[in-house]
Amino acid sequence: MPELPEVETIKNELSPWVVGQSFTEVTILDATLVCGGSAEEVCRGLIGQRVESVERRGKYLIFHLANGRSLIIHLRMTGSLLLNPQEVNRYARAVFHLSNGHCFVFNDRRRLGKMWLVDDANTIICKLGPEPLDKRFTPGVLGQRLSRHHIPIKAALLNQCIVAGIGNMYADEALFAARIHPLRKADDLSREEVRTLHNDIRRILQAAIGSKGASVDTYVRPEGELGMAHFDFKVAHRGGEPCPVCGCVIERVPVQNRGTCFCPRCQGLRPRRSK
């Protein structure tokens, strides 16, 4: 958290307030937030610069500046960008004031988020895999990338170098929809299974964006509202509850140290199908 739908929602809802505006004051309250330079250098580099556009790449937010540089923010597990909060609380790590009189605050309870000010955004995001909602992300592309990895499919979906933006809960949802056990090897899926998984990944992510993300923990939208996508979850965060399809108890197991929820009946380990 936040994953692709949450970061996309933040981008969509913050952009109208920041695009075309300049930074008038920047206060970094936690210097460990900044990577690749000092907090003072970032503040100096931002003040007076106009935001030309805001882009999402994977789970990264990229503020493209008029001078060609980019402010990049990764919210990690508990980060949020709050627009005009009534108070700057103890979880605030940075405050950005804009020329239109508004401000946004980088809040981060666990202080795991990171921020960069760089000349070229590709120096930070160059290793990311394809965007799952891009038209160039086809079943063939997914199958080709999965075929290179003899690891659990759940772990493969979380690997940002294979596909960008998918996180723990949406990987669980996509695998449940595709009826694929999370421990199946990524290179063991048939073409039919890859095609189904590809369609379910895109469908679930698009639906979650339409619901403004999932507020299962600390995620809130810039103006403080909650997302609603978690109300549509079938297995994610539902370990111990009955499967909505078959009634079997949803299991929760670790996959590479990530809690993974699945239905042992709907997603049973099946014999390998023909490619």
Catalytic residue ranges: 2-3, 59, 258
First-last CA distance in the chain: 34
Separation in Å, CA 250 to CA 20, 98, 171, 204: 48, 47, 15, 19
The amino acid that residue 148 corresponds to is R
Q: Residue with structure tokens 């499967």?
A: 243
d(CA 221, CA 65): 23
Give, as one character, the DSSP assignment of residue 218. Answer: S
If phi > 0 it is left, if psi is from -120 to 50 it is alpha, else beta; for residue 138 that is: beta
**Helices marked H in 90-180 — which ranges?**
122-125, 139-146, 153-158, 168-177
Nearest CA among 118, 105, 110, 6 for reference residue 58: 6
